[in-house]
Amino acid sequence: MAVGRWCRRWGWRKSWLLAALLVVLQVTAAEKGPAEGEAGRREPQRRHAYAAMMYMGTPRDYEFYVATRVMLRSLAKIRADADLVVIASVDVPPRWQRQLPAQASIPFHGSFMCCCSPPPAMAAGPRAWHLEDDGRLCLTESSSCGKQEGWGGAPFLKISEVCWKASAFLGSEDGLLWLLLPFNGKEEDGVKVVTVENVRNPYEKQGNFNRRFKLTLNKLYAWSLVEYDRVVMLDSDNIFLRRTDELFQCGQFCAVFINPCIFHTGLFVLQPSMPVFKNMLHELEIGRENPDGADQGFLASYFPDLLDRPMFHPPNNGSKLDGTYRLPLGYQMDASYYYLKLRWSIPCGPNSVITFPSVPWLKPWYWWSWPVLPLGLKWHEQRLNTIGYGAEMPVILIQSLMYMAIMAVTRLVRPSLSKLCYNRRPEKNFAFLHSMLRAVAMWSILAAYTFPFFLIPRTVHPLLGWSLYLLGSAALASAVTNAMLLPALAVLTPWMGIFGALAVMAFPWYSDGVVRALAVFAYAFCCAPFAWAAMVKVVGSLQVLLEREAYFPRLGESPLQQPEFSKLY
């Protein structure tokens, strides 16, 4: 951790600045009086929350983790007036959980981070620091929690109160205690992580069950967030175009019908309630009907009459509604609606949130999502403006250097490859060698165009991803060309075809999606003859090489044992 390294580098002697700052804060709070000081020490409790969930056990855990961070940061950038909550299962790595508060960027009357190494006198006791049942982190020498002499940013610093809210506790690592000390200022940290046990999915034995939905029932924990009046539960594949705080005026349950008959659970509004939460768990135990075995099927069965409920329209006076409502389609605009006209024209409600309820490999955070899917770039624009791509850049640089080295080395060794000894006498198994060589050549070319695709980090920016793919495929194609003495233009024809297809799909001035699809189809139709001609050229080149016997020496013989051997060139 960066803060931990800072503490170890400077030591406790340099922490007197932090100690002085805490003393000044305490004096200021005392001058304000008890009531005003308490207000200065604690952030105001929000009544609403946007919630998302994180769990492990899928091949795409990291991608969904990145997507969740980007979505939360996008909510912060539009200044959503609500808490941000992540319902994380117990097996989510602590490092990921700590990065959520450290990176989430939501404005609030916040805190500054401090790392503290317990003094020897306190570290010896088992109760040097502990978490109280009421949600306070207590750092005292005794088991009671109150106004005692404690420690904070420096050893044995005397402060009047050493209890903080549990949401400020970030864990311990390397002998350091990580916490957030109350500070009457402004900070851009504020995601609340709620750790939960995974809800057991009783529908795993269903014939149509998809294992990637095994833990989606953790979404039911949103009803247990009873400290909030309303919660908007979100999937990580949402893109917010504007503030949607008016959703907190909706009733006990509200959702959008993307499908004409089944509502979508990528975004829904709920009123937390422990009786409802316990009843849902009971319904799971008794095996309530669930068409798909996931959260959507269960909630559709639990709220079967939502289709007959009225449409939600937020009251102008800011009051909250009771009951259940259908949300306008503008709160869950399916990305497929955009691809038809290449613009949004949803007349039902404000165009607020884009969702991507498609197959997993077409989610917007993958680098190949654009220009294949035009909206993929919009998600990456939000990531570029929020958490950036620093985590993937070292891999990108290493792969780029590797591909450039391959191109340089294969170019340098080409003269040596072309000076192989050959046998003038005809081979009896010419047909077998020709078939084998043709198969090796075709598989090598195919590998040159597929292998780089799977090496690129999946969540990089599309411009970086496609650039690296074109560089890698060109490098490996050149290696095949030089190793097997193939015509370079024929081997690189697929490369040029892919580059042209990307340009056709990325063209920004299509009138609608139909014209775009027809343009891509016409380009593929025109490229097909060139691809066929390139393949014929490669096969013909291999046949010429074998007929000359310029590539294979006689099996089991050494060039030094044959007096009739000579060298090309």
Contact 352, 330 (CB under 8 A): yes
From CA 347, how far away is CA 345, in angstroms rounded? 6
Residue 7 is predicted with a pLDDT of 43
How open is the CA angle 66-67-68, to the nearest 5 degrees? 90
Residue 548 is predicted with a pLDDT of 61
Task: State both tokens at 27.
Answer: 């004096």
From CA 458, how far away is CA 399, in angstroms rounded? 14
From CA 487, how far away is CA 441, in angstroms rounded? 12
Catalogue all structural domains in the chain, each as residue range(s) with its CATH number: 48-103+184-385 (3.90.550.10), 392-418+428-551 (no CATH)
Residue 424 is predicted with a pLDDT of 44
Cα separations in angstroms, 219 against 27, 206, 212, 303: 44, 20, 14, 15
In 451-568 the beta strands, taken as DSSP E runs, fall at: 566-567
| Ramachandran bin of 168, using left for φ above 0, alpha for ψ from -120 to 50, beta for the remaining angles | alpha
Task: State both tokens at 295.
Answer: 């959260």
From CA 429, how far away is CA 545, in angstroms rounded? 15
* Residue pLDDT tens, the chain, 569 long: 444 444 444 444 444 444 444 444 444 444 443 333 333 334 456 899 999 999 998 888 999 999 999 999 889 888 899 999 999 999 999 888 877 764 333 322 233 333 333 433 333 333 344 444 444 444 443 333 333 333 333 332 222 233 333 333 444 443 334 343 333 222 333 689 999 999 999 998 888 888 888 899 999 999 999 999 999 999 999 999 999 999 999 999 999 999 888 999 999 999 999 999 999 999 999 989 998 899 999 999 999 999 999 999 999 999 999 999 999 999 999 988 888 888 887 778 788 999 998 778 889 999 999 998 888 888 999 899 888 899 899 999 999 999 999 999 887 876 554 544 444 445 556 567 777 888 888 999 999 999 999 999 999 999 999 999 999 999 999 999 988 888 999 999 999 999 999 999 999 999 999 999 999 999 999 999 999 999 999 988 887 776 665 444 544 444 444 444 444 43
Q: How is 246-283 classified by DSSP, letter by letter? A: GGGGS-SEEEE-SSSSS-EEEEEEE---HHHHHHHHHH
From CA 110, how far away is CA 23, in angstroms rounded? 18
From CA 311, how far away is CA 328, in angstroms rounded? 7
Count Cβ neighbours within 10 Å for each residue of 456-491 and write b for 16 or more, e otherwise.
bbbbbbbebbbbbbbbbbbbbbbbbbbebbbeeebb
Q: Is the pTM of this model over 0.75?
A: no
Q: Which residues pair with 130 in a beta bridge?
A: 138
Residue 294 is predicted with a pLDDT of 92
Residue 24 is predicted with a pLDDT of 44
